[in-house]
Amino acid sequence: MGPTGSIEPNPFEVYVQAGAVGGNGTHANPFGTIQQGLAAVSPTGTVHILGGTYNITSTVAVNKAGVTLMGYPSTMIVLQAAVIAFLVTGSGVTIDGLTITSDAPYAVEFIQLAGANHKLVDNVIFGPPQAGPSTDWVVNRGFLTQSNVTNLIVEENIFYSLRQPAYLNPNSTGHIINNIVYNTRGFVVDRAIFVISGNSWGNPENAVDIALLVGTPTGAPYDPLTELVNSNSVATISDQR
């Protein structure tokens, strides 16, 4: 408590509410933007993103170790420019409970990751409708790993109406488990090493569910392919190795 009985800001529990003005980051008096919350939060703290629509026109950098972005019911992130919505670097960042979309198809990923030990959990990420066959869609993606990302956990998310739910770049590692994906061209594995299990596929069906590009290693965790298929709700695999 402050000297007059007011609640003092806690740098480990910071709150934002779309459109708020003049806040100090407390639940009662939140900041108005996610960027303000991230500037104020301490490493290992949580930015609580309260319900509302957050329009994104420039990249939000998430670069403090161990920070969590926690979405609340009716939290909607709407990308409104051809920029990466969230650039996650460093270590141990968690993005949990956000719904992310865009006002138009943009040829970018919503989340780009670098570093280690990040988690994407319980998010809903989708693009706006695109006309025609998916081969002609703008290359919009749920997330992309930079090369050498390690121990990324992607769990219990929903991805749909995107060119790709994810593009996994060389030498990145982690687990993609128990997600739901539909109306995309599938997870693209480019010489990355991910355990992919427990995922399921809705309607409209994906063009393929998992694509293993040239140069991606044979053997575990992708082979035997029958195990990869059966551990992911009879996935359709494009094996280009």
Domain check: are 103 and 222 in the same one? yes
Cβ-contact 116, 146 below 8 angstroms: no
How far is C-alpha 109 from the chain's CA centre?
A: 9
Instruction: Give the pLDDT confidence score for residue 4 in this predicted structure.
Output: 53
> pLDDT tens for residues 32-87?
999 999 999 999 999 999 999 999 999 999 999 999 999 999 999 999 999 999 99
- Domain of residue 192: give its range: 51-239
Cα separation, 158 vs 136, whole angstroms: 22
Supply the Cα-derived Rg of the chain in whole angstroms: 19
Residue 229, helix vs strand vs coil:
helix
The answer, yes or no, to whether residue 1 has pLDDT greater than 50, is: no
Question: What band does 3 get if pLDDT is binned at 50, 70 and 90?
Answer: low
Cα separation, 85 vs 69, whole angstroms: 13
> pLDDT tens for residues 94-134?
999 999 999 999 999 999 999 999 999 999 999 999 999 99
Instruction: Give the pLDDT confidence score for residue 99 in this predicted structure.
Output: 98
Closest by CA position to 143, among listed 161, 120, 122: 120
Residue with the two structure tokens 């392919």: 225
Domain check: are 92 and 194 in the same one? yes
Mean pLDDT of all residues in the chain?
A: 96
Inside any domain, residue 4: no
Domain check: are 28 and 114 in the same one? no
Q: How many domains does the chain have?
A: 2
Domain check: are 140 and 189 in the same one? yes
β-pair partners for 112: 87, 144
194: tokens are 């991910």
Domain check: are 111 and 17 in the same one? no
Walk across the sheet containing 210-212 and list its strands. 60-62, 86-88, 109-113, 141-145, 164-168, 187-189, 210-212, 237-239
Instruction: Give the pairing of strands 237-239 and 75-79.
Output: unpaired
Domain check: are 130 and 18 in the same one? no
Domain check: are 37 and 132 in the same one? no
DSSP track, 143-197: EEEPTT-BSEEEES-EEESSSEEEEE-TT-EEEEES-EEESS--EEESS-EEEEE
Identify residue 127 by its one-letter amino acid code.
G
Closest by CA position to 38, among listed 57, 66, 7: 66
